A and B are shown apart, each in its own frame.
Chain A
Amino acid sequence: MSSQRSKLRALQLAQPLTVQLELTYACNWRCVFCYNPRHFDRTRLSGDEWIAVLDELRALGTLTIALTGGEPLAHPEFFRIAEAARERAFALRIFTNASLIDDEAADRIAALPPLAVEVSIHGATPSVHDAATARPGSFDAALSGIRKLLARNVPVLMKTPITSMNEHQIDDIVALAEELDVPLQIDPHITPRDDGSTEPLQYAASRDAVRRVIALGLGSGSIPSTERTKGGANCGIGRLTLAIDAEGNVFPCMQWRVRPIGNVRESALRSMWHASEVRREVAAMSVAVNEALLAAGGANATYPFCPALAMQETGDPFVPDDAFRARAEIAAELRQ
């Protein structure tokens, strides 16, 4: 069975192949455009609780787990959880700022081993990067962490959200990734905070910068190669993905925080997932969104659309926000 066919079967079966575990809201950086509403946990899940979740996810059919945060390495039991994930044969991705990765941490990460460590870098120079993170020294610390991982042959992906603060450095960011010899993904989206605040959007990049990123084909801003299909789903929300926050709340994806499916402290994940009305509603919504975009035609029909982000920005998952429309138009122009 090809991986594409297995993904389609998992979609039909509502088997959450890809799961994000937000281990902690805590972070040692204070990025001005961060989507997290806070940097502390009220009642953080313990290592034992996360390991029980891993057992449930294995039974639920998950293949890939992303450990994220906040800064996941800020969880005091990060390595215990990561090692337990690998013992259960999950493919592991780690979303980190890399600044807490010393030699010992790099050794332990290499021993897992992860599918990839995805590192957020917010500029090509210390001054630009550290202004975004509000943490002097964070650029040097992050690059040190990346180099320690690379020295141990750990696959690293550099991820950079393009913003008004770093858009003048696109070429330098590309050069930095080339110098490090790591793949680069530039994200042209700045998203609202998970509590609904649109404050981060003031740092959104200019239309010209977004155009450059999309034209360069750098990851999430690249032009999609496939068209939507009638009867298909817009995305895997409610079927292929789920996310669990630091306090055990389960969401159908990381961005969809309208209403949780439940909490792992209150009920078993497996029964919660299959019985959830919220899950069924958003899965149906994804199909309806796909139909609506197909019917609308034009640029919106072909550019990757996130109903969760639309919900955050317009209050309606069917109504694309202005930034999405702009990106879709740019992608369509470039395709001609």
Chain B
Amino acid sequence: MIPRIGPQVAWQIVDGEAIVVDLASGNTIGLNPSGTFLWSQIDGKHDDRDLVSALITHFEVPPAEAESDTREFLGEMTRRALIVPVVADTETKP
């Protein structure tokens, strides 16, 4: 999956940690350092495997741990609709 930040989201970094606002509910959450790092990598171009690789490189964590953390993070953010998958343009041109 290639994630991008959802359309109903505002965010900013405070003291190295991401503050994410869900505009639909008005709720605000703060992300931990690894969550903040992953959030900053979400650009609608890189997929989940890219995020795992980036996490391994940045935090020097074992691949299995990075994969688990990334999966958990993306799952939680998707559940909250803070990220959405990039939909590929599959329309066939005439």
Q: Which residues of A contact B (CB under 8 A)?
A: 1-3, 5-6, 9-10, 13, 15, 17, 61-64, 86, 89-92, 113-116, 155
Q: In the complex, are the beta carbons of B26 and A61 less than 8 A apart?
A: no
Q: In the complex, are the beta carbons of B17 and A62 less than 8 A apart?
A: no
> Which residues of A lie under 8 Å from residue B13 when comparing CB positions?
61
B10 within 8 A of A: yes
Q: How many A-B residue pairs have CB under 8 A?
A: 61
Closest to B30 in A: A1
| Other-chain contact of A113, B8, B14, B31, B32 (Cβ < 8 Å) | B8
Q: Which residues of B contact A (CB under 8 A)?
A: 5, 7-15, 17, 19, 21, 23-24, 26, 28-32
The 5 closest A-B pairs by CB, nearest first: A1-B30, A91-B10, A63-B12, A3-B28, A9-B15
Q: In the complex, are the beta carbons of B11 and A6 less than 8 A apart?
A: no
Q: In the complex, are the beta carbons of A89 and B30 less than 8 A apart?
A: no
Closest to A10 in B: B14
Beyond the given A3-B29, A64-B21, please list 20 additional residue pairs across the A-B interface where CB-CB is below 8 A.
A1-B14, A3-B28, A6-B14, A6-B15, A6-B17, A6-B19, A6-B30, A9-B15, A13-B15, A61-B13, A61-B14, A63-B19, A63-B21, A89-B11, A90-B10, A91-B23, A115-B10, A115-B21, A115-B23, A155-B26
> Which residues of A lie under 8 Å from residue B23 when comparing CB positions?
91, 113-115
| Other-chain contact of A1, B5, B7, B11, B17 (Cβ < 8 Å) | B17
> Which residues of B lie under 8 Å from residue A10 when comparing CB positions?
14-15
| Other-chain contact of B21, A1, A61, A91 (Cβ < 8 Å) | A91
Closest to A3 in B: B28
| Other-chain contact of A89, B12, B26, B32 (Cβ < 8 Å) | B12
Instruction: Return A1 CB to nearest CB of chain B, in Å.
Output: 3
A254 to B50, CA, bound (A): 44
Q: In the complex, are the beta carbons of A1 and B19 less than 8 A apart?
A: yes
Instruction: Return A282 CB to nearest CB of chain B, in Å.
Output: 21
> Which residues of A lie under 8 Å from residue B5 when comparing CB positions?
89
Q: List 16 contacting pairs A-B, 8 Å CB cutoff, sorted by A.
A: A1-B17, A1-B32, A5-B30, A6-B14, A6-B19, A13-B14, A15-B14, A61-B12, A61-B14, A63-B12, A86-B10, A89-B10, A89-B11, A92-B10, A113-B8, A116-B26
> Which residues of A lie under 8 Å from residue B31 when comparing CB positions?
1
Give the one of B10, B17, B26 with max A CB within 10 A. B10
